[in-house]
Amino acid sequence: MSAWAARLARPLVRPLIGTGVTPNHLTALRLATGLAACALLMPGDPQWTWWAGWAWLLTVFLDCADGELARIGNMATPGGHSFDYAVDNVVNSGFFLAAGIGLRGSVLGQWTIALGVLAGVSVFLSSIWSEAIERRQDTGKKAYTGALGFDLEELLYLLAPLAWLGWLLPTLVGACIGGGSMMILTGWRLWRLPSG
């Protein structure tokens, strides 16, 4: 995450250093809150969706907090990175699948489930292929950087207010278009890199 998210998380996770709480504990909590957000989206009920937004806001914050605790507490490990990466892929792609299921009573009917699958798969593959690009380039830089101190991952924070406002249907359609485009671009970038 960017400097902005890190600035928010740093003072909140600093007291955890030396307490026995590890970044993996925060990642596990992210997994739990992320899956809770997804479960709350699936009924398609506005009250449950409102709570899903709060759970989602917490899970996105925890995604920053675990990494920040690892950095400032000198607790970063390859296993922790792999765990965090796997949880990110499951939770972030799961949001769109769950939203699609929850929106099945909308004007698009059951098609929203297919849109949720498409958006979820696009997010999942974009993440997998971005990580592959980063490994192949081996420069320590991300495959995609943000602007003005913001990271692309911070767009995930916007999903909470979009859920509260009842704008998940256009968000899902946009995620299919944007996520699908990002998946194609990322796959193309990976394909162009030497495999050695």
**Average pLDDT, rounded, for the chain:** 93
Mapping DSSP onto H, E and C, the string for 63-118 reads HHHHHHHHHHCCCCCHHHHHHHHHHHHHHHHHHHHHHHHHCCCCCCCCHHHHHHHH
Taking 50 as the threshold, does the pLDDT of residue 114 lie above it?
yes
Band of residue 1 on the pLDDT scale cut at 50, 70, 90: very low
For residue range 28-45, what is the model confidence (pLDDT) as tens digits? 999 999 999 999 999 999
Alpha-carbon distance of 99 to 37, in angstroms, equals 10
| In the chain, domain spans | 3-192
Taking 80 as the threshold, does the pLDDT of residue 4 lie above it?
no
Higher pLDDT: 141 or 97? It is 97
Fold adopted by 3-192: Four Helix Bundle (Hemerythrin (Met), subunit A) (1.20.120)
Tell me what the mean pLDDT of segment 47-73 comes to. 95
What is the percent of the chain where pLDDT is above 90? 82
Q: How many CB atoms lie within 10 A of CB 17?
A: 12
pLDDT of residue 149: 61
Q: Are 33 and 59 in contact (CB under 8 A)?
A: yes
Alpha-carbon distance of 138 to 129, in angstroms, equals 14
Nearest in space to 62 (alpha carbons), one of 133, 102, 9:
9
The torsion of the CA quartet 161, 13, 81, 56, rounded to 10 degrees, works out to -20
